[in-house]
């Protein structure tokens, strides 16, 4: 029996990669230093994995930005527009590479970056490959060979190069012109893979891992045939090297036949996400295929339950024999924080239930040892799992009882929207096309320093409170001056829209160094939800009521919704995600009610992440949407009819989920539409979306200041699509990443645009 790892975090335990890349981009270090930082991280990672006793250790899982972008460079899929970058004297491959990732704005060139999107259902973002009808591929980068050579020197035969597979590479990319389907490029692409694999074999590679996550998605007939074609062609032209196809994040389901019959040496399946698929795979697995069992969760922070994993391993070895079984994490450990041992501030009891990437390697190795008879290793694990299962830190009967008692009435407003709308008109007396913002205002260095100093203890709570109040007052005065209709307090007290709430809720903990890569040099440090969630005290009432008292105008309260809090945290794995979400929903509901009681009549509950929680497989979506929508409704429905509930989402591709968005029954929804020129409002128009809606008219992702006329024309378009009396005027999203001068100019124009449209249309 072998053990393997599919990928290791590459940011470095002290985020060395982030620092090195950002210094290189700023011109503060040269190429040698950048490469040196990369080399050091790789070598450390390999040593860690070797020491842990892993038999097959990945290489080429390292990347300076993104492994899909590496693949584009490897295959020569460099879009035309980057050609001039390569011609600038002194530019090397890596400068072209970073230009593709980040755009290139110097040397008289102004070239946009390639698009970025989420890697399946993770919070990691990859650079989307771009294809043209005449797309050619050719071997164009030596990175994988150089990294394999170094790995081989350090690890010998244990070194296993990793490639993004040809079919997933195509499926995860995008056609940049009409007239062809990218999957048909497989014929041009496969010869380059043959060349790469042959070269790695000549260098001495015994195993090569080929990641094909798309094998676990809904596939067309054409896609399935592409898998068969690709691997049959490769098998035909490559001999004496073991290919391991890795799938993850979902079950193979209807692709099981295709997957197990690929002519490769081994198949990896994710048994954390989909343990139930083992039976079906075992039933179909042909003679000779080795099976890699992903039993250790590569995407979460919890200690593996050995008994559960061993049951799966036993089932597989009984059918296949131990020598055809490989033990592994469920997916690359890229999605997991690096080292739990650094987290000395976490309650030791809870820490004993957790495992980060380094600890997960040990789990993989121990599972093998236990299978081989070292059953004494089971004891400590069993004890920890048992403690967690029964701990009073996790289980709060009152919280469970409350979730169990949620009724349909709790998830339903007292009256239907038309009734509420009349009440809101009477109460708020807003003009047509009311103006508002999404919540945050620029987070200047001064504000950030303030929070940092307070956290360090350099400011007393009183001093800190006064400073935040001052920033809030200034922002309110300024919103009044330019004539916004519904004001916000500015969110100056918040570092992050999830962390701020997590820090005040029971059942959450925070790590010091639990960073995971989000994209490029950007890392996030998600909170950990370890126990039943409850709200010991008010969370936002102080700041919101302070703000409301400063003005005669309406003040909107600002909260983060349950699905978004869930989605951007590490979530406990000992109960269904929806149960945890309902717990959060009840906690936020109480905050909504506290705000209402304090006199706040308009409350926004941000659900930025509802769409990204959508399951990869279509069949699982209805259930998800059901509980996601219901948990929002639980959060929002405790209020009186006269209270107006807003929600906000930072995107607007709602075509496939519009009925569920409508079912959330928010009185007002604000979305991102300015970049698409309101095109994305079509979904709302077709559906005849009944409630009020604020389509963003100001793209806050860029420092550019939109002019008044431009926004008038966007609003006019919106009014052509939807009833004018239901429209609000607002930016696409919060303004915290912007600077003050451009924010002021843009919002002044926005208010002027709203006024112009009021005259024009009413
Ligand atoms: N209220 C938040 C803000 O304005 C919303 C941010 C978001 O949707 N990502 O910053
Ligand atoms: Zn947003």
The answer to the question of residue 101 being in a domain is no
pLDDT mean over 420-438: 98
Which backbone phi and psi does 703 adopt, to 5 degrees?
-70, -5
Compute the distance between CA of residue 57 and CA of residue 79 in angstroms, rounded to an integer.
32
pTM of the model: 0.96
The CA–CA distances, whole Å, from 724 to 57, 156, 171, 533 equal 60, 69, 40, 41
Contact 716, 760 (CB under 8 A): yes
How buried is residue 688: exposed, middle or buried, by Cβ count under 10 Å (0-12/13-18/19+)? exposed
Residue where a domain stops, chosen among 345, 371, 389: 389
Residue where a domain stops, chosen among 389, 424, 454: 389
Q: Which domain holds residue 639?
A: 416-495+549-560+596-760
Residue whose CA is at the smallest distance from ligand 1 atom 1:
439
Are residues 324 and 462 both part of a single domain?
no
- 574-610 in b/e burial notation, b at 16+ Cβ within 10 A? beebbbbbbbbbbbbbbbbebbbeeebbbbbbbbbbb
Compute the distance between CA of residue 706 and CA of residue 715 in angstroms, rounded to an integer.
13
Q: What SS3 class is residue 200? A: helix
Residue whose CA is at the smallest distance from ligand 1 atom 6:
734
Are residues 187 and 285 both part of a single domain?
yes
The answer to the question of residue 737 being in a domain is yes
What the block records as the tokens of 10 is 């590459």
pLDDT band at 667 (very low <50, low <70, confident <90, very high): very high
Distance (Å) from CA 90 to ligand 1 centroid? 41
Centroid of chain to Cα 400 = 28
Assess whether pLDDT exceeds 80 at residue 651: no
Are residues 325 and 432 both part of a single domain?
no
Are residues 333 and 474 both part of a single domain?
no
Are residues 322 and 447 both part of a single domain?
no
pLDDT mean over 44-54: 98
Are residues 358 and 487 both part of a single domain?
no
pLDDT digits (tens, 9 = 90+) for 454-508: 999 999 999 999 999 999 999 999 999 999 999 999 999 999 999 999 999 999 9
The answer to the question of residue 569 being in a domain is no
pLDDT mean over 60-68: 98
Distance (Å) from CA 440 to ligand 1 centroid? 6
The answer to the question of residue 648 being in a domain is yes
pLDDT mean over 709-720: 96
pLDDT at 73: 98
Assess whether pLDDT exceeds 80 at residue 762: no
The answer to the question of residue 453 being in a domain is yes
Are residues 477 and 364 both part of a single domain?
no
The answer to the question of residue 514 being in a domain is no
Contact 198, 235 (CB under 8 A): no
pLDDT at 678: 86
Locate the ligand 1 atom nearest the alpha carbon of residue 494 and give its number.
10
User: Across the chain, what does the average pLDDT equal?
Assistant: 97
Distance (Å) from CA 491 to ligand 2 centroid? 14
| DSSP-assigned beta bridge partners for residue 646 | 604, 668
pLDDT mean over 49-62: 98
Residue whose CA is at the smallest distance from ligand 1 atom 10:
734
How buried is residue 536: exposed, middle or buried, by Cβ count under 10 Å (0-12/13-18/19+)? exposed
pLDDT digits (tens, 9 = 90+) for 348-378: 999 999 999 999 999 999 999 999 999 999 9
Q: What SS3 class is residue 360? A: helix
| Ligand that comes closest to the CA of residue 699 | 2
- Ligand 1 contacts CB of residue 650 (under 6 A): yes
pLDDT mean over 108-137: 95
pLDDT at 528: 98
The answer to the question of residue 6 being in a domain is yes
Are residues 214 and 284 both part of a single domain?
yes
Are residues 420 and 359 both part of a single domain?
no
pLDDT at 549: 98
pLDDT mean over 444-448: 95
Which CATH number characterizes residue 323's domain?
A: 3.20.20.210
Transcribe 121-159 into DSSP letters.
TSS-EEEPPEE-TT--------HHHHHHHHHHHHHGGGE
Assess whether pLDDT exceeds 90 at residue 133: yes
Higher pLDDT, 357 or 653: 357
Compute the distance between CA of residue 449 and CA of residue 468 in angstroms, rounded to an integer.
12
- Ligand 1 contacts CB of residue 696 (under 6 A): no
Contact 127, 100 (CB under 8 A): yes
pLDDT digits (tens, 9 = 90+) for 189-214: 999 999 999 999 999 999 999 999 99
- Ligand 1 contacts CB of residue 559 (under 6 A): no
Determine the residue of 497, 605, 646, 651 to mutate for testing ligand 1's pocket, defined as the one with the most ligand atoms within 8 A of the Cβ atom: 497
The answer to the question of residue 742 being in a domain is yes
The CA–CA distances, whole Å, from 214 to 125, 251, 255, 294, 725 equal 16, 11, 10, 16, 45
Residue whose CA is at the smallest distance from ligand 1 atom 3:
734
pLDDT band at 383 (very low <50, low <70, confident <90, very high): very high
Are residues 153 and 270 both part of a single domain?
yes
Assess whether pLDDT exceeds 90 at residue 260: yes
Are residues 74 and 169 both part of a single domain?
yes
- Ligand 1 contacts CB of residue 649 (under 6 A): no
Distance (Å) from CA 748 to ligand 2 centroid? 20
pLDDT digits (tens, 9 = 90+) for 498-543: 999 999 999 999 999 999 999 999 999 999 999 999 999 999 999 9
- Ligand 1 contacts CB of residue 608 (under 6 A): yes
pLDDT at 714: 96
**Angle at CA of residue 609, ends 405 and 61, nearest 5°:** 120
Distance (Å) from CA 671 to ligand 1 centroid? 11
| DSSP-assigned beta bridge partners for residue 246 | 211, 268
pLDDT at 201: 98
pLDDT at 761: 86
- Ligand 1 contacts CB of residue 734 (under 6 A): yes
- Ligand 1 contacts CB of residue 733 (under 6 A): yes
What the block records as the tokens of 137 is 């591929």
- Ligand 1 contacts CB of residue 497 (under 6 A): yes
**Beta-carbon count within 10 A of 636 CB:** 28
Determine the residue of 489, 491, 604, 743 to mutate for testing ligand 1's pocket, defined as the one with the most ligand atoms within 8 A of the Cβ atom: 491
pLDDT digits (tens, 9 = 90+) for 547-573: 999 999 999 999 999 999 999 999 999
* Nearest in space to 579 (alpha carbons), one of 617, 644, 638, 529: 529
Active site residues: 701
Q: What is the number of structural domains in the chain?
A: 2
Are residues 375 and 470 both part of a single domain?
no
pLDDT at 489: 98
Which residues make Cβ contacts (< 8 Å) with residue 557, sequence separation at least 6?
Answer: 540, 544, 592, 595, 600, 602, 603, 604
pLDDT digits (tens, 9 = 90+) for 596-648: 999 999 999 999 999 999 999 999 999 999 999 999 999 999 999 999 999 99
What the block records as the tokens of 476 is 């309110």
- Ligand 1 contacts CB of residue 637 (under 6 A): no
Distance (Å) from CA 732 to ligand 1 centroid? 10
pLDDT at 544: 98
């Amino acid at each position: 029996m072998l053990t393997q790892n599919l990928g290791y975090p590459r940011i470095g335990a002290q985020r060395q990669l982030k620092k090195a890349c950002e210094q290189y981009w700023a011109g503060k270090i040269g190429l040698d230093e950048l490469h040196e930082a990369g080399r050091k991280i790789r070598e450390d990672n390999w040593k860690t994995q070797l020491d842990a006793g892993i038999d097959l250790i990945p290489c080429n899982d390292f990347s300076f930005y993104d492994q899909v972008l590496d693949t584009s460079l490897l295959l020569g899929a460099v879009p035309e527009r980057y050609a001039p970058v390569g011609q600038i004297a002194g530019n090397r491959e890596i400068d072209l590479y970073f230009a593709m990732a980040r755009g290139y704005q110097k040397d008289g060139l102004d070239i946009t970056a390639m698009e970025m999107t989420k890697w399946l259902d993770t919070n990691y973002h990859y650079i989307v490959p771009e294809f043209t009808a005449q797309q050619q591929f050719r071997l164009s980068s030596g990175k994988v060979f150089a990294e394999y050579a170094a790995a081989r020197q350090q690890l010998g035969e244990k070194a296993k190069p990793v490639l993004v597979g040809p079919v997933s590479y195509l499926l995860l990319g995008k056609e940049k012109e009409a007239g062809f389907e990218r999957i048909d490029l497989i014929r041009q692409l496969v010869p380059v893979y043959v060349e790469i694999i042959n070269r790695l074999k000549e260098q001495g590679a015994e195993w090569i891992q080929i990641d094909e996550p798309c094998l676990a998605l809904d596939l067309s007939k054409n896609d399935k045939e592409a898998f068969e074609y690709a691997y049959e062609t490769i098998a035909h032209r490559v001999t004496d090297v073991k290919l391991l196809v890795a799938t993850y994040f979902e079950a193979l389901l209807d692709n099981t036949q295709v997957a197990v019959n690929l002519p490769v040496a081994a198949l990896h399946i994710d048994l954390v996400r989909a343990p139930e698929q083992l039976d079906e795979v075992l039933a179909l697995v042909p003679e000779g295929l080795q099976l890699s069992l992903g039993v250790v969760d590569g995407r979460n922070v919890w200690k593996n339950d050995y008994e559960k994993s061993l049951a799966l391993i036993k089932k597989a070895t009984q059918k296949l024999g131990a020598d055809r079984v490989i033990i592994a994490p469920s997916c690359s450990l890229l999605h997991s924080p690096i080292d739990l041992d650094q987290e000395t501030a976490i309650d030791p009891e809870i820490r004993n239930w957790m495992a980060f990437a380094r600890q997960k390697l040990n789990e993989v190795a121990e599972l093998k040892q236990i299978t081989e008879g070292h059953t004494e290793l089971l004891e400590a694990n069993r004890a920890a799992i048992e403690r967690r299962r029964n701990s009073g830190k996790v289980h709060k009967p009152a919280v469970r009882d409350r979730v169990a008692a949620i009724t349909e009435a709790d998830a339903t407003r007292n009256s239907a929207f038309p009734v509420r709308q009349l009440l809101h008109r009477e109460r708020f007396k807003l003009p047509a096309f009311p103006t508002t913002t999404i919540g945050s205002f620029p987070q200047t260095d001064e504000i950030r320093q303030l929070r940092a100093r307070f956290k360090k203890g350099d400011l007393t709570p009183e001093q800190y409170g006064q400073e935040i109040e001052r920033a809030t007052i200034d922002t309110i005065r300024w919103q009044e001056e330019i004539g916004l209709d519904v004001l916000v307090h500015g969110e100056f007290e918040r570092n992050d829209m999830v962390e701020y709430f997590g820090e005040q809720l029971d059942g959450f903990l925070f790590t010091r160094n639990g960073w995971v890569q989000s994209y490029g040099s950007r890392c996030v440090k998600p909170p950990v939800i370890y126990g039943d969630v409850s709200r010991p005290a008010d969370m936002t009432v102080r700041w919101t009521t302070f703000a409301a008292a400063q003005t005669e105008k309406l003040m909107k309260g600002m909260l983060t919704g349950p699905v978004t809090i869930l989605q951007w945290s590490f979530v406990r794995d000992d109960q269904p995600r929806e149960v945890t979400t309902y717990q959060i929903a009840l906690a936020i509901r109480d905050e909504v009610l506290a705000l209402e009681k304090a006199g706040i009549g308009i409350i926004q509950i941000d659900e930025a992440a509802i769409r990204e929680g959508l399951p990869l497989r279509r069949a699982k979506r209805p259930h998800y949407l059901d509980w996601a929508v219901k948990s929002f409704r639980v959060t929002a429905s405790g209020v009186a009819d006269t209270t107006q509930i807003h929600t906000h989402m930072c995107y607007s591709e709602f075509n496939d989920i519009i009925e569920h968005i409508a079912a959330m029954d928010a009185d007002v929804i604000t979305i991102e539409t300015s970049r698409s020129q309101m095109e994305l409002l079509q979904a709302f128009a077709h559906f005849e979306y009944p409630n009020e809606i604020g389509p963003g008219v100001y793209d806050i992702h860029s420092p550019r200041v939109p002019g008044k006329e431009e926004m008038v024309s966007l609003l006019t378009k919106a009014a052509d699509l939807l009833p004018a009396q239901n429209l609000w005027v607002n930016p696409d999203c919060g303004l915290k990443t912007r600077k003050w001068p451009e924010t002021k100019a843009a919002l002044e124009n926005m208010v002027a645009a709203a006024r112009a449209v009021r005259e024009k249309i009413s």
